[in-house]
Structure 1
């Protein structure tokens, strides 16, 4: 990802090997994509496909330039056949997609664990593809049985790194389908479920006298700050305070 405030700079014509997904937080940007004159503002999501020449500069009316956030998606995240459609339809007016991108940026900025970012990315890529495809694909109905199987898989790997891609390969389903099925069955995301289970396990260990730093690692958080942030969100107090209060 890339965050920037651009005031008096113009990008020269260039291209990327990746898909660029751009949101503007303030101001406005003008850019030429292939032979088209385009612009992006706070109301849009700009999609720039790989291999297509483009530039970028502040809109003449934006005296303070523009604030932007980019996500660069590996070319394999979206079908290569969508390049032409992305050139023709570079600006998407989709508040839900924009909000999802803001959530992804925030997740990556605070270094949330990959399970969260992976789920957000999969749903974002699916929504972008749906905009660019000539025909929107019919989504398979959520499966309760698959949701319970995924839950069991998450329980079995609660303290170990596991990705939704691994789960999707194991269960022969797509990542977005797994997420939809899980949300339909349990009303939370797979990531939120895992965090909740880890916090519950941590509570018991703290009350038995374990040190917060050791508990953080033992229940699967990558560091104590990550553990403390989620523990306070679930219990309203820090791990150390919780342990002291329990005693």
Structure 2
């Protein structure tokens, strides 16, 4: 690999995402090839030029590019310094093959909200243990992509419909699985609801997303165990966090101090403002 070029790839535990691919290329050019998954691409630096279905396209950094499966395309740097990109490969549970034609016709989407959401999802996918948040973000991205490819009206992102009974059912499900957790896909099956509607109903009813609610319940349980004298690593495993660093990140965000500072032997007791 040439100097200045770098690639990172992994498969997250998030249904619908077959691969995450981050790359910086300065000179490398892709030959014509196909994928068996949808390619959702954002460019953070530079630009890419590519051919899709014998038509030339480009990807300036303010667009989202969606390349359909089974359709040949290539790619090469469009600027002297190359390009830095982040890619999600998505399976048909996110987008069906009936959308391939519209995607071929209009692969580059100028949608600031969609661009923001895709970037946020990439950030979430780099953090093991936040799969429920990632799945929630992905379901809204998939919904917005479908709206672009199969428009039904002038407005994207329809307003949330209140559904307090569904929101209560999801809260009770989360309460019953604080430690083991539940995936968005499992919750949708158990509660007979579309994942996007499930997240919207919960957020509308309680003013907090399902993943935020579950995390706050886990942190509350972690506080009690830490005050009982349990060690942070042990507490992380006992409260459903991926590992101690996962606990520390969310604990500091919600409590204002790390788990060790919260009930560490040197401090003995935290101040009321720190434990509020």
Give TM-score, length-normalised by structure 2: 0.85
Residue in structure 1 matched with residue 261 of structure 2 by the alignment: 241
Residue in structure 2 matched with residue 18 of structure 1 by the alignment: 37
Q: CA 1:75–1:65 in structure 2 vs 1: closer, same or farther (change >3 Å)?
A: same
3-state SS of paired residue (2:22): strand
3-state SS of paired residue (1:155): helix
Q: Which runs of 5+ in 1 are unaligned?
A: none
Q: CA 1:95–1:112 in structure 2 vs 1: closer, same or farther (change >3 Å)?
A: farther
Q: 2:224 aligns with which of 204, 210, 227?
A: 204
Q: 1:5 aligns with which of 20, 24, 34?
A: 24
1:198 is displaced (CA, Å) by 0.6
- Coordinate RMSD, CA, aligned: 1.5
Q: 2:239 aligns with which of 219, 222, 230?
A: 219
Q: Paired residues, what number?
A: 245
Q: 1:58 aligns with which of 77, 81, 88?
A: 77
Distance (Å, rounded) in 2 between the aligned partners of 1:211 and 1:69: 37
Q: 1:75 aligns with which of 76, 92, 98?
A: 92
Alignment check: 8 A CA contact 1:207 1:246 kept:
no
1:209 is displaced (CA, Å) by 1.3
3-state SS of paired residue (2:43): strand
Q: 1:179 aligns with which of 199, 206, 213?
A: 199
Distance (Å, rounded) in 1 between the aligned partners of 2:209 and 2:260: 28
After superposing on structure 2, the runs of 4+ consecutive aligned residues of structure 1 that deviate more than 6 Å are 137-140
1:139 is displaced (CA, Å) by 7.2
Q: 1:150 aligns with which of 167, 170, 193?
A: 170
**1:5-47 deviations in Å (ceiling 9; x for gaps):** 1111110000100000000101111000112111111110000
Distance (Å, rounded) in 2 between the aligned partners of 1:44 and 1:153: 38
3-state SS of paired residue (1:75): coil
Residue in structure 1 matched with residue 55 of structure 2 by the alignment: 36
Distance (Å, rounded) in 2 between the aligned partners of 1:16 and 1:96: 26
Distance (Å, rounded) in 2 between the aligned partners of 1:191 and 1:53: 38
Q: CA 1:21–1:150 in structure 2 vs 1: closer, same or farther (change >3 Å)?
A: same
**1:143-168 deviations in Å (ceiling 9; x for gaps):** 12111110110000000031111111
1:204 is displaced (CA, Å) by 1.1
Give TM-score, length-normalised by structure 1: 0.95
Distance (Å, rounded) in 2 between the aligned partners of 1:35 and 1:147: 48
3-state SS of paired residue (2:88): strand
1:109 lines up with 2:130 in the alignment: no
Alignment check: 8 A CA contact 1:50 1:75 kept:
no
1:77 is displaced (CA, Å) by 1.4
**1:46-92 deviations in Å (ceiling 9; x for gaps):** 00000010000111xx1101111100001231121100000011011
**1:91-127 deviations in Å (ceiling 9; x for gaps):** 1111111111111111111224211111111111111
